Chain A
Amino acid sequence: MPSLLLRPHASLSHAEALQVAQQAPEILRKNPASYSASPLFSLFSPPESSNTWTIYENLLLACLRTGDNTTARQCLERLVVRFGGSDERIEALKGLVKEAEATNDGELEKVLKEYEEILAKDNTNVPIAKRRIALLRAMGKTAESIEALVQFLDFSSTDAEAWMELADLYLSQGLYAQAIYAQEEALTIAPNAWNLHARLGEVLLMAAESGSEGNPQNYLAESLKRFCRSIELSDDYLRGYYGLKRVTDKLLAANSKGKKPSESDEFTLPETSTIEKLNQAATKKLGDIVRKYDAKDPLWQGYDAGEVAAARTYLSESSQKVLR
């Protein structure tokens, strides 16, 4: 299954990662240890494609995740043979292997020092800068990590991945306003990313539920817009419809309690009838998705089993409420 090997590794589940790691020895055996530039050799060896190196990188990550450090080293060696040890990306991968092999905090500190030495020579080394931020976060130094990431974004402000990481860091600290700002920056870079729209909707919903700062009504209105945009960008998007149902349920509950939205709202809420229609549409669509997934329709099997289960529970909960 080559598609598992090509997907970004961090999005795989544990079972999938194990499956990938188990393929590693076979792939290492099948592919030659090095590719020759001579045209004569390339006639007899399997073709080298850009995917080859993505696969090696993902294998490396999967092996580290499953604790198979020797195979991981083999993958790294091949990458070093191909790209040289001083390549930025390879340097970051080397650091990653060292991080995984470190057994205590002292060794992690050493790896961090190495990163800082590399950055002292060239402070625009993007992969190493990212590793340093990630390592700081892993060691629990969240504040330093945020500071480093903000500095990183000063010189690389079109890096959507870094903006998303910043949003995640802020979110882990409960700083919703900052997290929302970072997410919006990521969205200006990737405006068509339907999952980022849904994610922003989720963060806004969390902000509204925590109710610590700002007007929750504003957050809900904005969240409604984000979920609507995500399903506009992608038909049958389970996450978008799920979020839409949550938000509209909340808004309708607030309306029925008779809480009038204040006049000075930055975002004006749509009319109650519109919200009701959206809610019905979301309920219908969620029901459709769950039914088709359960019926093992071959064209509807791309959903995450956990997400479908969550939608099923939520649907049955809300239908019970209606019955009462």
Chain B
Amino acid sequence: MAWLSRPLTLVGLVILAHGCYSAHEHTVLSSTSVQHPTSPSATSLPLDIYIETIAATVLICLGLVLGSGAPQPIQWHTWAGKIEREGDAGSGDADKETLGNPFNALEARSGFININKLHKDFVKYQQLGK
């Protein structure tokens, strides 16, 4: 449906502009015409301009909503489940910061890191790999 978004918005904008122009023309004409200065039809806009404006606004809204991407999860468990399922690979765009579970830092505990043990384990790991 995404391909519909731009044409819909564009058509909506054109119709809206047309509606505005019609309203403007109508007021200019009715103020210059001297035959019926006090009749109600001269001061109020005709119905079709109202309809045109409202329809155009609806079209633009529809186009914009269709064009926006899939919404992010707003429920905690859905969001957390997405992180668990997809991990780092989940998000396609690189600039978005997906670092997995934000609470992993509490289990990793970088402030209390034991660097010597990590280094020894790493040396063992490398020897195993060879």
Contacts and interface: CB of A to CB of B under 8 A. Distances in A.
B118 interface: yes
Chain A contact patch, size range: 35 or more
Q: Mostly helix, strand, loop or mixed at chain B's interface?
A: helix
A7 interface: yes
A237 B80 contact: yes
Given A17-B122, A134-B114, A299 B85 contact: yes
A220 interface: no
A100 B99 contact: no
Interface in A79-136: 92, 96, 99-100, 102, 126-127, 130-131, 133-134
A7 B110 CA distance: 10
Chain B contact patch, size range: 35 or more
B67 interface: no
Interface string B69-89: 000000011101111111111
A186 B81 CA distance: 22
B119 A164 contact: no
Nearest to B100: A7
A238 B126 CA distance: 29
Nearest to A159: B111
Q: Mostly helix, strand, loop or mixed at chain A's interface?
A: helix
A3 B99 contact: yes
Interface in A267-306: 298-303
A235 interface: yes
Contacts of A11: 104-105, 107-108
Contact of B111 (A2, A7, A14, A127): A127
B110 A8 contact: yes
22 contacts: A3-B88, A8-B104, A8-B108, A9-B110, A10-B110, A67-B123, A96-B113, A96-B115, A99-B116, A100-B115, A102-B116, A130-B111, A134-B111, A134-B114, A160-B106, A162-B112, A165-B111, A193-B103, A237-B81, A299-B86, A302-B87, A303-B87
Nearest 9 A-B pairs (CB), nearest first? A302-B87, A235-B81, A234-B80, A193-B103, A10-B108, A11-B108, A130-B111, A8-B108, A134-B112
Interface of A: 2-4, 6-11, 14, 17-18, 51, 61, 64-67, 92, 96, 99-100, 102, 126-127, 130-131, 133-134, 137-138, 160-162, 164-165, 168, 186, 190, 192-196, 199, 232-238, 298-303
